[in-house]
Amino acid sequence: MPKIAVSGLTKSFKAAKGGQLPVIQGVDFEVAEGEFVAIVGPSGCGKSTLMNILAGFEKPDGGSLLIDGQPHPGPSPQGIVISQYGSVFPWLTVQQNLMFGLTGVEHGVDAERAKLADHYAAMVGLKGFENAYPHELSGGMLKRVELARAFIVKPEILYLDEPFSALDALMNLRMRNELLRILAEEKHTVLLITHDVDEALYMADRILVLSPRPTRIQARFELDMPHPRRLISPEMDQLREAILKELGLEMPG
């Protein structure tokens, strides 16, 4: 059974000038457990709307969305979203931010939760910063706190909505490697929404290309390649060109 099964999904919004603005027009795909699927699409096509529906924050008008064969349970710790905007609490230390989501009895007493928080802080390279406040950290370090905060609750699905797009180019590349390293240790199902084709090529097992709004899936690409990947190779160049062509960007011959 697929982890996520989406079929015939549709969504419209009320348009500012009256009438309906169709945004999603019949999206179908499945994601297997442990698979990393990237969804790329042109600006304004409906990527964030699709992600909000997939993560359970928004209801579709039509179609079905099943998680483990069941109707979507809505937002829950089973599915964690990481977006470009960040969600770290500025008034809590790194350790307190990481402990925040550990509310279950299985997480034990405070001392055990603090130990778990420190383990995850170390996993994302923040050892020694457990007692630092967010304003004392760089943008890349804040992103690491967010990754740790997502992984510590052991979500079954990670929803990544342009997670690294607010970082500078070098930090963006670092965080891709960091994410892949953690995913190799702790297998999760991942859905990444991005406009960055290279980000998708670097990390995903499969890439779905969305059409302009009202969006549907226009093309699908399989990437049966081991990690770490070289972004410059004849195979990657061919894939990149094919995806950019689907997005309406022809490379000069």
Ligand X SMILES: Nc1ncnc2c1ncn2[C@@H]1O[C@H](COP(=O)(O)OP(=O)(O)OP(=O)(O)O)[C@@H](O)[C@H]1O
Among 23, 80, 124, 190, binds ligand X (CB under 6 A): 23
- Cα–Cα distance measured from residue 165 to residue 195, given in angstroms and rounded to the nearest whole number: 9
Handedness of CA 197, 202, 208, 214 (dihedral sign): negative
Stretch that binds ligand X, among 40-48, 77-85, 114-122, 137-145 (CB under 6 A): 40-48
Residue of 31, 40, 49, 53 that binds ligand X (CB under 6 A): 49
Whole-number Å distance between alpha carbons of 209 and 213: 12
The nearer residue to ligand X, 181 or 195, going by C-beta atoms, is 195
Nearer residue to ligand X within complex by CB, 101 or 214: 214
Asked whether position 48 contacts ligand X by CB under 6 A, the answer is yes
Given the complex with ligand X, which of 11 and 188 has the nearer CB atom?
A: 11
Q: Smaller CB distance to ligand X: residue 161 or 178?
A: 161
Residue selected from 4, 31, 39, 45 as contacting ligand X according to rule CB under 6 A: 45
What are the DSSP calls for 145-177, one per residue?
HHHHHHHHT--SEEEEESTTTTS-HHHHHHHHH
The residue within the footprint of ligand X, chosen from 4, 46, 158, 200 (CB under 6 A), is 46
Decide whether 44 or 90 has the Cβ nearer to ligand X: 44
Alpha-carbon distances of 84 from 56, 167, 236, rounded to whole Å:
18, 9, 26
SS3 22: strand
Q: Please name every residue paired with 9 in a beta bridge, in sequence order, or none if there are none.
A: 27
**Residues engaged in binding ligand X (CB under 6 A):** 13, 21, 23, 41, 43-49, 195, 213
